[in-house]
Structure 1
Amino acid sequence: MRTLGERIRALRKERKMTLEACAGEQMTKGMLSLIENNKANPSMENLNYLAKRLEVEVSELLEEVSGSELQALLDEVEKIVKLEDKKNYGEALEMIEPFLQKLLSGYTAGRLLEIYSKFSYLLGRSNWKPIAERASSIYEELNIVPRRAAVGIFRAMVLFTEHRYEEALARLLKEKAEVESRSGYIDPLTRLDLYTYEVIFRFAVNDTIEATRLMNEAISYSKDKMIFYQVEQLYRMAGYRALIDNDEEKLDYYEKKLLQYGEFAEDDHAVWYTKLIRIHQLNSFQHDHDTALKKLSELTDPIPKHEFFQNLFALESGKALYGVGRFEEALHMLKQVVISEDVHHPFDLSIYYEKDAYAALCAEQLGDLASARELAEIADSNMAQLPETPYTQFVKETAKHIAAQ
């Protein structure tokens, strides 16, 4: 924590004032220097005078942590937030920790607590929950709805990433109800966040009817407000739902919407998603592996570096190669698939858990029954932890088939 003298010096330098300019006519340059170096304490008269010279309240000079000091800290921490690099999170926590007990009110305090809570969780620390509650309380007092909702969504996402899907949905609905009951107005971006996460969570627990209703409602809301925030994720979910339901008309519709969005937003991820989801349809739903392999060979543009696309390309390549009898090549591609620690939705996990089932079938064809059984057991064990999905039956049948060999 900075001393009174250090706070005075920092404020003076922020305003680019010399000692002489700050001291003015009431104080000497030497006296101000002594105060700044903690070798003298100013009288209340001089303190009031310095506050006027520095254009702050006396209370800010006397505070152990000044508002300007906290704002400067938040500015530095927000830079780390924007980097989205986990290796820097510890540094941010170290910066905030000395101030934790002083973060009692105001947006700056709430935001610092919110960041501290999130980074603590992501680094595996156990103290994140009470810090999140403090941030929520501050945001509620100030009626800062977007940030209050963000903390609530984060707390629900913690449960979701632990694959406690029912609890995650219950927490989200609780947080949503609290936000709605205490706020007369919820801004469109926050409303779309609440819509989107509820849709994702309801699909995760197979509450398909309500999830679909909310998804369509969210898309209509997005159109009405002319806001495209979250729209790609909603279109992806809608397209994927159409794929599962074997609704070709809706799949065509949402594929078109994603392509339009990709062109409008110059987002190649949206375009690549439509290409790979069609190949996924050929492999997993239509079992047309020859066409899938042909489509894969036509993808000549560089694949986005995001791990989702790299892994899905390798997975679909492996499945297609298995389907045309090129087992060694298929196994090689399937071994390249890595399930990211950021993948948590049952739909996504189910797609990835197929890889071990296909790898087991490849190993069987190559005469390595021991590996085939091990891989089939892994796929079956992983899939058993998830709610029922369209991929469950394939994995179960594969495990049963391999076990009988």
Structure 2
Amino acid sequence: MLGERIRKLRKQKKLTLEALAGEKLTKGMLSLIENDKAQPSMESLAYIAERLNVEVAELLGNANASELRNVMVQAEQLINIDHEEDPNKYKKIIKLIEPFIDKVTKSYESARLLELYSYALYYEKIDGWQTLLQRAADIFDELNVSSSRTKIAVFRSSIKFVEHRYEEALDVFLKERKAVEEQHFYIDPLSLLELDYHESVLYFAVGNSEPALNVMERAITLSKEKRIFYLIDDLYRLAAVHAMDDGNKEKQNYYLMKLKKYGEFADHEPSIHFYHLINLMMLISEEKQYTKALELIEEYLEEKMVHYETWLSAEKGKALYYLGRYDEAFAVLEQVKVPEYLHHPYDLAMFYILESFKGLIQLVLGNNEAALSYAKKGVQLFETLPESAYKRFSIVTLEKIKKEF
């Protein structure tokens, strides 16, 4: 009870009723408050808190700022641990934050704890996270913390995105972005970049390239103007892959060179590795230098291109197929699995197409039934993805194999 907390704090600080009452309260009124026979006004409560040298939140039974901040720091450390390193990290976050959920105030620390707690509930498949996340969003809106509110917007759309429900993900995102822009009179450049990047990603995911390109170019321009390199590597990668699928060699080379220069400047290995990967893919699909491609793949695997080892194996299977080494090619492709963290159609297409290659291999080996099965699977996988060169290849492959029956 409020009165009990005030009395306890007064005695801890060795103050008499008269000393705490001071000039603004009477001893009798303070006694009534401590015995929960009278409710102080917010002005009186603030006065008592000041005299006791505590926050009003502490008197009300809420956690104080330093306590919440300490819990937030611990939760931040947990959320940043790789899930493979600690599979129980979300359970730990729930256990850590749960005692404070009913004590949160309208502070940044409170909102962040609600946010992290909501994420943990979501990943543990526990109901109630939506309401708590909305509380966090409301506090961030009131405090005008656009960066944190932006992350919630991205998270909400990502839920549909990882389920490959791209149209719904875009719809959620656009509504969230509108809400952020309406609630925040100032949005920092980093948050603007994040909003533009994810909007572009989602437009590409639904096959709507015109607005995707417009938003992407806007983000790249903002990055250059503000000299902010946040997400610039992802934007260059996205632009290069789109140009490759669109058959625009000039744009593809332009963005790849930009990515390479960024990688060298920032000493960012994934960017440099991606540059090499795309060139390798072109070596196979356009230049048809399969032997050279195989040599490069072995070289890259020895160099431990950890970010793209699975991609390299996929390209190895293709190169072996084109060299007529069918059994080897099939064995390699059978070992390639789609990484669980991939959800964008551009990425998925690079792996879904492997089913078509397996079908072609089985066709050459005389296993027509198996060939048809793999080809059909390839086309089925592409059903929810937008139009692309890969998707067209899968359809052509199926038609080719059907003619053998």
Superposition TM-score, scaled by structure 1 size: 0.83
Structure-2 residue corresponding to 1:276: 277
Once residues 61 and 103 of structure 2 are traced to their aligned partners in structure 1, the CA distance between those partners, rounded to angstroms, is: 10
Could you say if the C-alpha distance between residues 125 and 322 of structure 1 is closer, same or farther in structure 2, counting changes exceeding 3 Å? farther
Structure-1 residue corresponding to 2:117: 116
Q: Structure 1 residue 59: deviation in Å? A: 4.8
Could you say if the C-alpha distance between residues 100 and 23 of structure 1 is closer, same or farther in structure 2, counting changes exceeding 3 Å? closer
Once residues 25 and 124 of structure 1 are traced to their aligned partners in structure 2, the CA distance between those partners, rounded to angstroms, is: 49
Cα-to-partner distance string for 1:306-360 (whole Å, 9 max, x where unaligned): 3xx0110110111111111111111122122111221111111111101111122
Structure-1 residue corresponding to 2:75: 77
| Structure 2 segments unaligned to the other structure (5+ residues) | 17-32, 36-45
Work out the percentage of aligned pairs sharing the same amino acid: 35
Contact 2:57 2:63 in 1 (8 A): no
Does 1:362 pair with 2:355? no
Structure-1 residue corresponding to 2:327: 328
**What secondary structure does 1:398 align onto?**
helix
Q: Structure 1 residue 122: deviation in Å? A: 2.5
Contact 2:114 2:133 in 1 (8 A): yes
Structure-2 residue corresponding to 1:137: 138
Once residues 245 and 388 of structure 2 are traced to their aligned partners in structure 1, the CA distance between those partners, rounded to angstroms, is: 9
Structure-1 residue corresponding to 2:164: 163
Contact 1:73 1:95 in 2 (8 A): yes
Could you say if the C-alpha distance between residues 217 and 87 of structure 1 is closer, same or farther in structure 2, counting changes exceeding 3 Å? same
Structure-2 residue corresponding to 1:179: 180
Structure-1 residue corresponding to 2:373: 374
Structure-1 residue corresponding to 2:220: 219
**What secondary structure does 1:391 align onto?**
helix
- Name the aligned partner's letter for residue 135 of structure 2: R
Contact 1:290 1:323 in 2 (8 A): no
| Greater displacement, 221-230 / 383-392 | 383-392
Contact 2:62 2:104 in 1 (8 A): no
**What secondary structure does 2:335 align onto?**
coil
Structure-2 residue corresponding to 1:350: 349
| Greater displacement, 205-214 / 364-373 | 364-373
Structure-1 residue corresponding to 2:40: none
**What secondary structure does 2:275 align onto?**
helix
**Pairing of 1:44-63 with structure 2 (within 5 A):** 55-57=53-55, 59-60=57-58, 63=61
Structure-1 residue corresponding to 2:39: none
Once residues 104 and 61 of structure 1 are traced to their aligned partners in structure 2, the CA distance between those partners, rounded to angstroms, is: 12
Cα-to-partner distance string for 1:208-229 (whole Å, 9 max, x where unaligned): 1121122112111101000000
Could you say if the C-alpha distance between residues 66 and 353 of structure 1 is closer, same or farther in structure 2, counting changes exceeding 3 Å? same
Contact 1:357 1:376 in 2 (8 A): yes
What is the alpha-carbon root mean square deviation over aligned residues?
Answer: 2.9
- Name the aligned partner's letter for residue 368 of structure 1: N
Contact 1:346 1:389 in 2 (8 A): no
Q: Structure 1 residue 298: deviation in Å? A: 4.4
- Name the aligned partner's letter for residue 60 of structure 1: E
- Name the aligned partner's letter for residue 197 of structure 1: H
Once residues 372 and 163 of structure 2 are traced to their aligned partners in structure 1, the CA distance between those partners, rounded to angstroms, is: 28
- Name the aligned partner's letter for residue 66 of structure 1: N
Contact 1:360 1:375 in 2 (8 A): yes
Cα-to-partner distance string for 1:174-217 (whole Å, 9 max, x where unaligned): 11112112222110100000110011111111111121122112
Q: Structure 1 residue 62: deviation in Å? A: 5.2
**What secondary structure does 1:384 align onto?**
coil
Q: Structure 1 residue 56: deviation in Å? A: 2.8
Structure-2 residue corresponding to 1:16: none
Once residues 380 and 132 of structure 1 are traced to their aligned partners in structure 2, the CA distance between those partners, rounded to angstroms, is: 39
| Greater displacement, 182-191 / 287-296 | 287-296
Could you say if the C-alpha distance between residues 152 and 25 of structure 1 is closer, same or farther in structure 2, counting changes exceeding 3 Å? closer
**Pairing of 1:201-212 with structure 2 (within 5 A):** 201-212=202-213
Q: Structure 1 residue 44: deviation in Å? A: 5.8
Structure-2 residue corresponding to 1:94: 95
Contact 1:354 1:391 in 2 (8 A): yes
Could you say if the C-alpha distance between residues 269 and 59 of structure 1 is closer, same or farther in structure 2, counting changes exceeding 3 Å? closer
Contact 2:62 2:102 in 1 (8 A): no
Cα-to-partner distance string for 1:242-294 (whole Å, 9 max, x where unaligned): 21222222222212111111111111111110111112223345555344334
- Name the aligned partner's letter for residue 117 of structure 1: S
Give the number of aligned pairs.
Answer: 370
